[in-house]
Structure formats: structure tokens, C-alpha cells
A and B are shown apart, each in its own frame.
Chain A
Amino acid sequence: MQKTFFILIFSFLSQFIFSFVQNDETAPDFQLLDSNGDEIALSSFRGKKVVLEWTNHGCPFVAKHYESGNMQSTQDFVKDKNTVWLSIISSAPGTQGYISPEKANELTVSRNAFPSHVLFDPSGVVGRKYSAKTTPHMYIIDEQGLLKYQGAIDDAGGRGFMSKDLFKANNYVKKGLKELASGEEISSPVTKPYGCSVKYSS
């Protein structure tokens, strides 16, 4: 009873104290169309972990992560771990990365990638809600729907990125999921996202 009350108070308060998405809070819900034309709601994945990946295939940072196989390796890592992988495209119509559903599916096949869904957010509403800044920009949400991680995919960002070996980098998404699985707190819950700017409509 007291605990319920306590949680109630806090969730009530958190609404007006914070204005940005903060870790350990309920990740904002959204409904977006995926590349197969289905409407996908974040809330329907309660009970599973969710990884959000902001993407834009034309961005050289994203391209390097896919060409090196690093992104696929991260996707492979979450497979069979009760985890959903959502790739989100917030590119506005006419900007880089804005693609048709068919093209998205084609990219998934040609890049040998396996996101659970590729979602379209051409208005940028969801991206702005999450303050997604770059492609890639990664988020981890736990089974309770709480945001647990936001930031870069790994620590390869910074000058000289293009010549770095991504498999030698410290992959924050893999590490965070490992820590969550063993019941620990994520050791670096916020990191600096790096990459191209998300091509929002202005």
C-alpha cells in the first residue's frame, strides 16, 4: 500500500519535473507504420526489451556500421534474448534517408540485417520526442517499458571514426543488454551520440 502510494507520487511528479526523456522513466509510447504496412506500437512490446536504432542508410556513419557488419552483429546479439529491434527512420520527405517501404525491405535483405521492424517517422514527431540527434542514435528500453540507455552504439565516435575498427570498439548496446540481463545497472547509461544529424523536417 505504502509502496504503491510512493510509486504513484513519484510517477505523478516525474511528469512535470523533467521535460526530456530521462533514463529510468517510461519511454514515450508511439505508433508508427513499418515497412510491411503494419501499425506498430511500442507499448505492445511490454514484457520484452526493446532496442531503438535511428537510421538513415545514406549517412556515412550508418553506412560504415552496416558495411563493416557491426550493426548486424549487434542485431544478432540481441536475437533470442527476448528483445525487439526497431529501426526508425525520421528523415523527412525529400531528405536523405527518406525511403519507400520496398526500398527499406530491400536494404534489410541486401545488408543482411535483421531488425524486427523498420519504422517510418517522416514527420519526425517520434524522433523529436526522444531527442534523437544523430544516425545512429540508440536507446534501450526494458521489459517494464522504462528507458535504460540512450546514446551512441559504441565508443568509436570522435575524430578519425572512418578509419576505426568498429569490432574493437566498446559496444554500449551489447554491454548495456548484458548488464541488464545480469540484473545490474547499466554502467554508462548516457553517452554522446555521434553521426549525421537526423534529417528532420524544418
Chain B
Amino acid sequence: MLFFCLVLSINQSLHSDSKYFASDSSIELLSNSNSIQPGDELLVGVKFRLEKDWHTYWKNPGDAGEGATIKWNLSKGLSASNILWPGPERIPVDPLMTFGYNDEVVLLTKIASDGKVNFPLKIEAKVSWFTCKDICIPQEGTVDIEINEGNLLATSHDLELKKYLSRVPTVFSRDFRVEELDNKFFFQSDVLGDEQYTDVYFFPSEYGLTSYTKDQIFEKNQNSFTLEIEASEYSLDLEIFEGIIETSTADGKKFFSISYPLESDEPKGDSSVFLLILFAFIGGLILNIMPCVFPILSIKILRFVEHSENSSTNTLKYGLFYTFGAVLSFLLIALLLVILKSSGESIGWGFQLQYPLVISILFYLFVALGFMFMSSLVFGSSLGNLGSFAQVKNESLESFLTGVLAVVVASPCTAPFMGSAIGFALLQPSLNSFVIFLSLGIGFALPYLILSIKPSLLSFLPKPGAWMETFKQFMAFPMWASALWLLWVLSGQVDQDTVLMVLIGGLVISLSLWLLEKNTSEKVLIRWSIRVLAIILVIGSISILPTQYSSKENQAEMPIYSEALLNEYLSKNKLVFLNFTADWCITCKVNERVALNSEEVLSILEQKNIKYLEADWTRKDADIARKLEEYGRTGVPLYLLFPSDGDPIVLPEILTKDILLDYLNELT
């Protein structure tokens, strides 16, 4: 066989022909007509015939291999288009994936003629290609045909050329979008009723966009579909989502080209990271004068004034320990965030204020600190020991703990003032997040550190005296102001009774602190019983803290769907947005991430007092199924908007923020 081929190929290469035989494949140049009039256009194709189980490649070969090249040598007046590549097949080569054509393929080209061609015309193609099975063989050959003057007349190859032409992708004319979430791409599009896609597959044009080997998940909805595609293991940050999609229906496969610009929401380049680091540093500096932090620091710093007369050498050491405590705390926060992020939680900064328990504990802390500033209660004797809870004689450790405490009290303040900057930092790769938090910590600790290096900077302050006690007492007010703000945040998450419980807890904490302050009895037994009582009170007040959301308003925002509740709303002529969803529905989740959970949508729901109802079909539910059926649906998603009067509006299955906002704005 091989010998036969070799003989043939030698034989054939001696004089030009429309066919060329290589060792394991052959090529042939086909034309849809052998004659044209000047100005006509020809459809020609290079047909590759491969041995059984051999393949050649698409223009993007996938993980290995290489597509064919065709060099045209044309008579004067003729010009060739680029290769029109028919849609490829997936050819897995475990563990890799390649894209190409098994057995045979025709790569098409359109050849145009101008008005001044001289007949006969010669069309010559020099083709180089690879035929591969488990191994690859590079091949090269030249084929040509002659075209005479005459009317276009279909040749016997015309049908075959047309067949391959129908496999060349056309522009996908349907509305579609591509969303990039969590290292996955979601390609979503509407479907016309008569087109029953059974599968869709995406072939990327370029390396570095999507994974070649991972399965793509096709989800069919009533009037739309979603294709979930894993991003490439090596992201090259391409700005465009480009390639072709293969749609399968009962009638066979079709190919469409798509191109969609990707939003690059991640800042690129070192300069922007540098800028973020700078902002974090400045933000850290500013935190020092926030009402949560300033009192603690200022009182702590006052001790430099006290100490500056005697041992100023040690202050540097304490300053360094403070810095260490603060920076370490910020890095621990960064670590926590990165771990949460990698475990798939979608968190932003300020997440700490999403937990009623955390808010309440911070509330107690601020109440207690305010009380301690106001009273003469200090653990230990000097002003300087404020800020650490234990009676720590080791001042290095105490300075370290002060640094930690300063970060803890700073945490609620960072949320409103620095939320967006830190949120941005979290979008960064983990390493950058750490660097940004490091910079924040350094900025935060710097003023204190500078003063510890040079306490004489504070020499403008009056000599230590009674004014310091007055100042300390005054500083209780910003503490309590912070406590008030925390309580306000809490009141948005839990109901009135719980807020009252937390307030009582604050009162009890104050009471126990007062007990400790007045506990100066000489008798050991009394002193200790009062201490124990105070501790019991503190534990008691912590035990009543809320751990879950219990707000009635919150429940009103996220109530569970029931037919009765819907009817109740409708009977009161309320506007209702009904979302049929399920955890396993990819389309639903993409819509929720992209459109429903956006701030604009939430605020318009609130503004127009639109009741939001969620019908969760994660587990089959007869009531929900019946409701879906009413609207001719057998599955989710389904979005319904009920106006105050008239029939509900059925929203598209693929929601964008703009589409949803339009509908919500017009709802009356």
C-alpha cells in the first residue's frame, strides 16, 4: 500500500493535476464550476482524504497539532479569500483535546475575478498539512485546475462544496451574552421555539480563554439555554470571547461564529496595584483619627508625655511591638478573607458587619471602653495600661495587645470608609491582597511608631496633669458614638426585641464594670465574690447575644413563596416580583448574580415597595410546579412581575441588570 502510494505520488508530482497523493492522505482541488465570465466568483475547495482514523486540524488545533495552510498561485485578475473553515469535531487524545476533522474535509475558499482576466485561468494551491492518528506526519503538495471562459456551470463537486459551505459558521444572530463568574464562562442565549437544541459546544479561537479538556455543561430552558464553560487553566486575560458554537438538533449540527467583548473588572498592571497599595497606606493613616480608634490611641500616646521625662529609650521598643501587633492582625484578617474567598464564599469587606453576633460583641466592647474612659476604672494603676485587658506587667506584650485591640476597634470603622478600596483588594490575586493589607497595617501603625521614636514631638502638649483625666473622660463619647452606630447597623438585621436584649446586655456590662471599680473591699472573700458576680454578669450578657438574623423587615424581603402569600399581596394591590429558581439551575444563578442581586435592583424594589417572592424549586414542590404550569412552563427560571392591576408580565429568561431595571421602572 505504502509502495503504491509512493509510486503514485512520484508519478503525480511529475505533472500538475487537481489531485495529489501523499503517504497517508491525499488532496484534491475542487471547483463549483469549470468556467466563469470575467467578474464572476468561484467557490473552490481543497479536499483532504485521510486514511481511516486519521485526522487533520481546525485553525485552532486545540492542545496539539496544526491546521493546514494553503498558498495560492493565481492567474492575474484572480484573488482568493481566507480559508473558510467548516466547523470542527472534537478529537480527544487522552489527556488532551484537539479540534479537527476525521476521515475527510474540504477547506473552502472563494476566488473572485476582476473584469480583465485572460483565459484560460490557472488556480494553483500549494498545501501543507498534518495528518495525525497517534502520530503526526507533515505533508505538502501542490494541486491546480484550469478555468475557461463561459457561464457558471455546476460541476459534480458543486453539491459537496455546498455541503461543506453549510458547515462554515455564520454569525450567530440571536441575542446572547457571556458572563465571567468564578473562573467560568456562562454563554447564554435565547432559543426560537422551533429550534430544539439538544446540545451546544463552544470551540475557542484562541489559546488561553477556555479549558479544552473540561466538559461544558449545557442547560436547556424553555426559551433560552446556558452553556457553562470552564476558563482556561492558564488565563491569558483575553479581552474578547471569540470562537464558534456548535448547536445540535435532531436535524444535525450547525455552526455559528460568536465574538463578545469581555469586561475586564480586574485592574491590570503593576501601576494600579501600586496605587492600591498607596491608597491602603493612606487609608491606614486616616483610620487613626476615626472615632473608633482615635480615643484608644490618643490615650495610649499620652503616656509618652508621662514617660518622656524618664525612660524614652524604651518607647521605641513598645512602638515596635505595637506595630507588630497591628500589622499581624491585619495580615490575619487578610488570611481569613483569602481562605473564605477560596472556599467559594462571595464576601466583600464589611462582611464582619453582616453577622449580628460580631456587631453585638463590638457594641459591648465600645460600651465597656467608653465606661472605662469615663470612670477611674483602670486595670493596673497608670493611664498607660488602658487598652489591654489583662493586668500585664510585661509592657512589650501589652504594647502588642494594644496593637491588636486597635485593629479590632478599627474593624467597624473600616467598613463604611474603606469598604470599596478593600473590596477591590480582594479581587486581586491572593498575594496582592496580602501586600495591600500589609500596607494598610503599616499605615495604621505608623503615627504611633513615629511618636514612639520621637516622643519629643508631643512636647507642645501641656505638662501632665489633671487635664489628662478630663481628656480621657471626654474620649468616652466617640466610643459611645461608635457603639450607637453599631446598634443602628444591628437594628437593620434583627428585630426590636433582640435590639433590646443587646441594650440590656450593654447595661449589664456597664454594671459589672462599675462593680469592679467599686470593689475595693479589704476582705478577700467579698472582693472575690464581687469579681465572680461581675464575670457571671458578663457571661450572661454575652449568652443573650443574637446569632441569627431575626428582622421582620428582612423576612419581608426574603419571604418564602406560597400561593396564599401571593394572593394576599395581590388582593392588596401590591406590586410583586416572583422569582422561580432552584439551586441546580445554572441560568437562575447567573441571573441572580448578574442582575437580581445588584444594588440598583434591590434599591428600586425597596423604593417602589415591590414585594419580592422567591419560589425555590430546588426540591420538587407540587404547588410551585402547578404555578409554573399555569404559565406553560415545566421548569425554572421563570420571572413574573405582577402589576397592581392586570395580568402578570413574564420576563425574559436571561436577565441583565438593564433589562430588569427597565421592567421594574415601568411597573405600575
Chain A positions within 8 Å of B, measured between CB atoms, are: 1-2, 5-6, 9-10, 13-14, 16-17, 20, 58-61, 95-96, 128, 131, 133-134, 150, 157-163, 190, 192, 194-200, 202
Contacts and interface: CB of A to CB of B under 8 A. Distances in A.
**Residue in B66, B96, B140 with the greatest tally of chain A CB atoms within 10 Å:** B66
Contact of A6 (B207, B236, B331, B338): B331
A162 B64 contact: no
Contact of B342 (A5, A13, A20, A131): A13
**Residue in B59, B63, B331 with the greatest tally of chain A CB atoms within 10 Å:** B63
B140 A190 contact: no
A9 B335 contact: yes
13 contacts: A2-B327, A2-B331, A10-B434, A13-B342, A20-B233, A58-B135, A95-B134, A160-B128, A194-B66, A197-B63, A199-B134, A199-B135, A200-B94
B64 A197 contact: yes
Contacts of B324: 1-2
A197 B65 CA distance: 7
A17 B342 contact: yes
Contacts of B331: 2, 5-6, 9
Nearest to A3: B438
B438 A13 contact: no
A159 B69 contact: yes
Nearest to B341: A17
B138 A162 contact: yes
Interface residues of B, number: 39
Given A60-B130, A190-B236, A13 B64 contact: no
Contacts of B140: 162
Interface string B42-86: 000000000000000001000111111100000000000000000
A159 B63 contact: no
Contacts of A158: 66
A202 B93 CA distance: 9
Interface of B: 59, 63-69, 93-96, 98, 128, 130, 132, 134-138, 140, 207-208, 233-234, 236, 324, 327-328, 331, 335, 338-339, 342, 430-431, 434, 438
Contacts of A196: 64-65, 132, 135-136
Nearest to A127: B95
**Residue in A6, A95, A134, A199 with the greatest tally of chain B CB atoms within 10 Å:** A6
A22 B67 CA distance: 28
A16 to B, nearest CB: 7
B328 A2 contact: yes
Contacts of A59: 135-136
Nearest to B135: A96
A197 B96 contact: yes
Contacts of B67: 159
